[in-house]
Amino acid sequence: MEKRTELIAFGKVLNRIRKDNKYTQDQLSLYSRVDRSFISELENGEKSATFLTILALTKALHIPVSEFMLEYEREISKLED
């Protein structure tokens, strides 16, 4: 099954910001109350996040949603080139 470019871009951004914060998936799960296996699926471009999940993740990562989405836009532009 081919992964959608949008999901891959979202996952790459989530992974990069998580690592920039020096969080493991387990730590992000604890801080965001999002299941660790779901975080893994998001980072691997296998699942899509709801708006409430994005809010929980960005709050735990100490980043505004707007900044996360700007990073997403940059990433998707690279993938679509």
**What is residue 1's predicted lDDT score, i.e. its pLDDT?**
46
Q: Which two tokens stand for residue 31?
A: 């801080």
Q: What is the CA radius of gyration of the chain?
A: 12
Range of 74's domain? Answer: 5-80
Residue 46, burial from CB neighbour count under 10 angstroms (0-12, 13-18, 19+): middle
Averaged pLDDT, 3-29: 96
Q: What is the CATH number of the domain that holds 10?
A: 1.10.260.40
CA separation, residue 15 to residues 37, 72 (Å):
13, 11
Higher pLDDT, residue 2 or 1: 2
Q: Which value, to the nearest 10 degrees, does the dihedral of the CA atoms of residues 65, 23, 40, 29 take?
A: -80
Domain count, the chain: 1
| Mean pLDDT, rounded, of the chain | 95
